[in-house]
Structure 1
């Protein structure tokens, strides 16, 4: 059952990161300025990477955290889960700051301009919220999930192996080296 939970978490977190990464690079708003001789372009696209440049690196860090959760066990996995949740929170904060600061400043630069916000910042925020949920899930339940295989881990590191024990290991199908 725990392996299913780990796979479900991995799918949720990877999809959340992909959503936030994809939507973060799209056009988040359009500035509609009155056209005229001083302003020949009536529409100015505002991409998400321009107004919230923190989104891409934070989402990539969260996706790296997804891989780290697979490679760790116990408390370390829970700490990485908290870090993934923090990255998701940074995505949400980055999206909300855009509405508060940047778009209002952009529209103030062009007199008579209006701002039309697209759906992409909302989708980016959704990806951030899903990253928060996935990170908290890993922080709470990640300690019980199975770790990577320890098949090739050596259990008798402190004592030298005798010739007989190495042949016995080979007979069991283990690698004694």
Structure 2
């Protein structure tokens, strides 16, 4: 696989991992039945991943920011960015996987941020998880880890942004001599073909 194709594949994987985790975090991860005094019916609450594990959303957005960084960096900067992507992916896995199992009563009470009218303090709230969404978010984290490790291993060899966007003083090569007079038509076209400005 060529360097440009490998870079595009890693960029696509980074974007996919971040989007999958972000999408999974917006879904319902936990359903809570909160008992209330009779004759009130029990309250049924649906908590999204953003509420249950806000760190997952933040890490998914950071993974998407890494996609932009892969476009803009090269060399050692890209290797460092790859390491950060791998760490972000691992942290995303660690933040999402524990939520695939039902939390204890104390953890459920901590998640209920607003007081509920008529809540029965003698009975505990019952939580039921929707394990697919936390595991899907962890899968997005695994894709980010793979993209980060591939960037660390091969990122220095991938092409960067075109050098035509760099400042002229940063280009390698001997300095050009100032022209003695107006350039000939052929010289103007040759300079344009090289990407140089013939008016300088």
Q: Which TM-score applies when normalising by structure 1?
A: 0.83
- 8 A contact 2:100–2:135 mirrored in 1: no
Q: Are 2:141 and 1:140 aligned?
A: no
Other-structure match for 2:103: 103
Give runs of aligned pairs for residues 23-102 of structure 1, distance below 5 A: 23-33=24-34, 37=38, 40-98=41-99
Distance 1:31 1:55, change over 3 A: same
Shift of 1:152: 4.1
Q: Are 2:8 and 1:12 aligned?
A: no
Q: After the TM superposition, which parts of structure 1 deviate over 6 Å for at least 4 consecutive aligned residues?
A: none
Aligned residues: 176
- 8 A contact 2:25–2:137 mirrored in 1: yes
Distance 1:24 1:115, change over 3 A: same
Gaps of 5+ in 2: 113-122
Gaps of 5+ in 1: none
SS in 2 for 1:13: helix
SS in 2 for 1:143: helix
SS in 1 for 2:163: coil
Other-structure match for 2:130: 117
Say which one has the larger Rg.
2
- CA RMSD after TM alignment: 3.0
- 8 A contact 1:24–1:49 mirrored in 2: yes
Shift of 1:171: 2.7
Shift of 1:116: 3.1
Distance 1:165 1:93 in 2: 67
Q: Which TM-score applies when normalising by structure 2?
A: 0.74
Other-structure match for 1:151: 164
- 8 A contact 2:20–2:140 mirrored in 1: yes
